[in-house]
Amino acid sequence: MLTASDIQLIIAGGEGYNAEFKISVPSKVKELTEEICAFANAAGGTLLIGVNDDNELKGVHIDNAKRSAIQNSIREITPMLDTSFSLVEVDGKIIAVIEVPSGMNKPYVLSGAIYVRVGPNSQKLTTAEQMRDFFQQADKIHFDEIPCKQFNPLNDIDQHMLSEFRHAAKLEPSTPDL
């Protein structure tokens, strides 16, 4: 759990790749969850509610209904994500803090969409190219594991070179998979 001085340091650094500020809980709680999903798909981050865009502490009142709405919305992210929610007093004002770790099981998906951090903003991936880049960065796709659809073993393998390799490796001419 972050302390008041930890929160002050985050606020002093401003919004960025790992920090997002909200003045209040938006009427559509899903907006918060999109930010949380993006943090999980990136390096993790901290969402502070009760701080405006000018890095000023304003404080926030989070009743049980709002807290439940936030937690229920976070549960919509798949696979399940372990976040930390706390209320911390900073300079006499209550700040809601949601800490999001970098996810171990990327990609994290919310309502069928993948959200990522791009600088200080969260962005929904919309193109196949964006998704392919994300999966490669998340280490889920390796170029050497992607099938080459244009490869034709009958036309693309030099049979003479293959025969020389088999001879040098002392492999039988009928060795499978070569």
The residue ranges of every structural domain in the chain are: 4-125
Per-residue pLDDT at 120 exceeds 60: yes
Q: In the predicted model, what is the mean pLDDT of the chain?
A: 88
- Is the pLDDT at 177 greater than 60? The verdict is no
Q: Is the pLDDT of residue 102 over 70?
A: yes
Q: How many CB atoms lie within 10 A of CB 48?
A: 24
Judged against a pLDDT cut of 80, whether residue 103 lies above it is answered with: yes
Res 49: pLDDT:
98
- What pLDDT, on the 0 to 100 scale, is given for residue 148? 65
* Residue range 4-125, CATH number: 3.30.950.30
100 in Cβ contact with 47 (< 8 Å): yes
C-beta neighbour count of 145 within 10 angstroms: 6
Q: Which of 53, 28, 45, 50 is nearest to 84 (CA)?
A: 45
